[in-house]
Homo-oligomer: A and B are copies of this chain.
Amino acid sequence: MLPDDLATQLRLWRRDFHQYPELGYLEMRTASTVASILHGLGFELQLGKEVMSEENCMGKPSEEETKEHLEWALANGAKERFIKPLSEGYTGIVAKMDFNQGGPTIAYRFDMDALPIQESKELDHFPNEEGFQSKVPNHMHACGHDSHMAIGLGLASWIAQNKRHLQGTIKLIFQPAEEGTRGAKSMVEAGVVNDVDYFIASHIGTGVPHNHFVAGNNGFLATSKLNISFHGVASHAGSHPEAGRNALLAAATATLNMHAIARHADGASRINVGELHAGSGRNVIANHARLIVETRGNTSKINKYMKNQVTAIVAGAAEMYQLQYKIETVGEALNCHCSRDLATILNTCAVNHPAIINSQLESNDSAGSEDATYFMERVQKNGGLATYCIFGTDLAAGHHHERFDINEASMLTAVEILSQSINDIILMHSS
């Protein structure tokens, strides 16, 4: 039902993105390329601050870093026509296409950012063999978002080709900064899914094999990503120890007490002080400390409990040592409950796909955290249906690994299942 050469096209798109990995909120070459293609297919585009709430952008890089990257993007193939609205680091895209009235509004979300990982230089790493490895040192599409965008563009192609047969409205959402669960909330708060009846997010891999499918993944943990800092007063540790206000001791105390937060009876919780950096010299009472922290919970309520405890502990540690402190939320995600009716449609699409060996309606396997959950919560709150599905693929190495790679053949199946879901949703909606 799709052009013979779509598989080839998907591979070309994916490999292009793979060579130019960009970190969250810096997907300028990436997003302008995506926008250019979608524009060519006839979609109506909204970019940048139109689809992102500035005050809800968590964990955004500094203005300086953003400016610097803009220059890099322009020098590396960014499409100038679309770069303006993306240039301050608001790199989200909503591509809309309206059909006959009376139909549903369906949204699909794809994420675009890469990771600060150095891609393997081993010769037998497939991207090296095929010559499409990352051109950027210490940056890599090691989670598959390159393929997500290819799938999204493949879906867009199908939509463009079949627009005469469709009803309602379709929105394709290309989200920045999924890594660290940072970018989704900003798009949700800008209202981009307020009118959506059906929402589908998806991921490739995550342990599900090639030609397997999960229609509704409920295993995400709610999470908060927190950057915490303490600021005190330095003093010579030998001659005036009493004059210092010791940020390092406060950080050590806060760390221990954060890890000692009581377990929650309602379900799993997590806390990790992943990094602690404090002090500026052996003989100086440390006047600054920085902690890189995350909390998680089976439910958003449990995660909220964890975050509240962290807040109290940090405030208390600061009071102990009479310090200033700052708690910055640089990422956040919710847990989710996929809408069974929508998952059932996806499941049927997969079951009926000739290549699919196995399709699972629902899964509770823990698959980390995802900020697509913000979209899902908003849609469900408004009475819509939402689900999160997984396209199986065979991985060369786990997500976030320097040798991560997918089976590119999985992309075509993904596009076909998503395409079919449009038909089935419109059908269900009208019935």
A residues adjacent to B (C-beta < 8 A): 180, 221, 223, 225, 237-244, 246, 248-249, 251-253, 255-257, 259-260, 262-266, 268-270, 272-286, 289, 292-294, 296, 305, 312-313, 315-322, 366, 368-369
Q: Which residues from B are CB-within-8-Å of A240?
A: 265
In the bound complex, do residue B242 and residue A274 qualify as a contact, i.e. CB atoms below 8 Å apart?
Answer: no
Q: Which residues from B are CB-within-8-Å of A259?
A: 246, 249, 259-260, 262
Q: Which residues from B are CB-within-8-Å of A366?
A: 238-239, 265
A241 nearest CB neighbor, chain B only: B262
Inter-chain CA distance A15–B151, complex, in Å, is 68
In the bound complex, do residue B265 and residue A275 qualify as a contact, i.e. CB atoms below 8 Å apart?
Answer: no
In the bound complex, do residue A262 and residue B285 qualify as a contact, i.e. CB atoms below 8 Å apart?
Answer: yes
Inter-chain CA distance A239–B225, complex, in Å, is 16
In the bound complex, do residue B263 and residue A252 qualify as a contact, i.e. CB atoms below 8 Å apart?
Answer: no
In the bound complex, do residue B282 and residue A238 qualify as a contact, i.e. CB atoms below 8 Å apart?
Answer: no
In the bound complex, do residue A276 and residue B275 qualify as a contact, i.e. CB atoms below 8 Å apart?
Answer: no
In the bound complex, do residue B262 and residue A257 qualify as a contact, i.e. CB atoms below 8 Å apart?
Answer: no
Q: Which residues from B are CB-within-8-Å of A257?
A: 249, 253, 256, 320
In the bound complex, do residue B256 and residue A241 qualify as a contact, i.e. CB atoms below 8 Å apart?
Answer: no
In the bound complex, do residue B237 and residue A270 qualify as a contact, i.e. CB atoms below 8 Å apart?
Answer: yes
Residue in B275, B276, B319 whose beta carbon sits within 8 Å of that of A252 in the complex: B276
Further pairs besides A241-B263, A315-B320, A319-B319: 8, Cβ < 8 Å:
A238-B270, A241-B262, A242-B264, A252-B253, A274-B283, A274-B285, A275-B281, A316-B316
Q: Which residues from B are CB-within-8-Å of A241?
A: 262-265, 270, 272
Residue in B246, B252, B296 whose beta carbon sits within 8 Å of that of A238 in the complex: B296
Residue in B249, B262, B269, B282 whose beta carbon sits within 8 Å of that of A246 in the complex: B262
Inter-chain CA distance A5–B170, complex, in Å, is 76
Q: Which residues from B are CB-within-8-Å of A284?
A: 272, 274
Known: A260-B256, A265-B241, A320-B316. Contact between A272 and B276, CB under 8 A? no
A274 nearest CB neighbor, chain B only: B282
Q: Which residues from B are CB-within-8-Å of A225?
A: 282
In the bound complex, do residue A279 and residue B260 qualify as a contact, i.e. CB atoms below 8 Å apart?
Answer: no
Known: A294-B282, A368-B238. Contact between A248 and B260, CB under 8 A? no
Known: A259-B249, A260-B249, A269-B263. Contact between A237 and B274, CB under 8 A? yes
Inter-chain CA distance A279–B274, complex, in Å, is 6
Inter-chain CA distance A265–B315, complex, in Å, is 28
Known: A249-B256, A252-B255, A256-B249. Contact between A272 and B283, CB under 8 A? yes
Inter-chain CA distance A2–B319, complex, in Å, is 62
Q: Which residues from B are CB-within-8-Å of A242?
A: 262-266, 305
* CB<8 Å pairs between A and B, sample of 21: A239-B368, A241-B265, A242-B263, A246-B262, A248-B274, A249-B259, A256-B256, A257-B320, A265-B366, A272-B284, A273-B279, A273-B286, A274-B282, A274-B286, A275-B278, A276-B278, A279-B292, A281-B292, A282-B294, A312-B321, A312-B322
Q: Which residues from B are CB-within-8-Å of A293?
A: 282
Kindly provide the distance from the CB of A104 to the nearest chain B CB, expressed in whole angstroms. 35
Kindly provide the distance from the CB of A260 to the nearest chain B CB, expressed in whole angstroms. 4
